[in-house]
A = this chain, B = another copy of it.
């Protein structure tokens, strides 16, 4: 079998085709007439008994030549087929098939001034919350005939910055981003450049951007109200670091509900963590179980489900029962929450809806001259499951 190796070369995209030994030139271009290919040869390169032929990817010009029409007609077939007579159209379409023509999006975009893509720069691809948001955005993009590219910043500001810069250079239609820091100037840089940007799952007080978020204070309140209703009077809040707005807000809501119930401050313990992961949840569990049974909280509210799952696992390892020894409320209601060994009570956020609305907002900003920025705040709801019902 002949090796057919595509390479890239200044001036276009090329196909390199190699002959068998002995022959000088062989143009391998599956399904095409040799002469059509030969016209696109740029460079022949002798290497001993073999010869490389460098072939440009076919363009509208090549198609026009093969079909015996003008370049403008080919473009018409592509963009306004109704303006072309059926006979010539099918001749052009045949030529396209024969040459394996694919429209060059860079050229189209250069001409059109905009691309046909959205992007979502997300913090943590391993957290199902973000992939669910992405799914919602994906569907909205699909409905608008656009593609959605996902970029994983992995919680690193430098990577986030690289991605944002690249996307702006690409002139994407719009960017959704869950930023490492919503107040970082990189976001302003994007917008100064005219690329619509929507902040997802974070907000900024200055109203400079559209954003979609969930009322985390209310979420924290719902969680703790539920625990108070279930009769708990010693509760732990597990989460951190408090540089994360979500964590601060959920704790604030928790404290408000606690105060409203007339319970003493010191019976709402804060167990800080260094992140919102399963591993951190286990470590928090160890610390929690280290407290003497008399003073130990009877319930825990975790700042997200991953923490809650880690906590659950730690308890199960150490022989404690849920909710008998400790009731648990998580946050996010990811798929694994319902599927945990003890199904988790959790605060649900409308994740797909978040993504969908974010995509719609960014498209509005991209296309509607009368666009005004909106900060949408969604309402969370508590989903009660076995982890809080003995």
Q: Is the CB of B30 within 8 A of A192?
A: yes
Complex CA distance for A205 and B293, rounded to whole angstroms: 62
Residues on the B chain within 8 Å of A147, using CB = 151, 162-163, 166
Residues on the B chain within 8 Å of A256, using CB = none
- In-complex Cβ contact of A278 among B7, B102, B336 (8 A): B336
Q: Is the CB of B52 within 8 A of A104?
A: no
Count contacts on A: residues with CB < 8 A to the other chain. 90
- Identify the stretch in A84-92, A221-229, A361-369 within 8 Å (CB) of chain B at 4 or more residues: A361-369
Q: Is the CB of B134 within 8 A of A125?
A: yes
Given A5-B365, A106-B115, 13 more contacts at CB 8 Å? A104-B171, A106-B170, A108-B169, A125-B131, A125-B135, A126-B128, A126-B131, A131-B131, A142-B159, A148-B151, A148-B152, A313-B339, A313-B340
Residues on the B chain within 8 Å of A249, using CB = none
Q: Is the CB of A372 within 8 A of B3?
A: yes
Q: List 22 A-B contacts (CB under 8 A).
A: A1-B207, A6-B195, A8-B173, A10-B113, A15-B194, A100-B192, A102-B165, A102-B168, A102-B169, A104-B110, A106-B107, A107-B110, A126-B132, A126-B335, A131-B152, A134-B152, A149-B151, A150-B151, A150-B152, A278-B335, A340-B341, A341-B341
A21 within 8 A of B: no
- In-complex Cβ contact of A149 among B12, B149, B309, B369 (8 A): B149
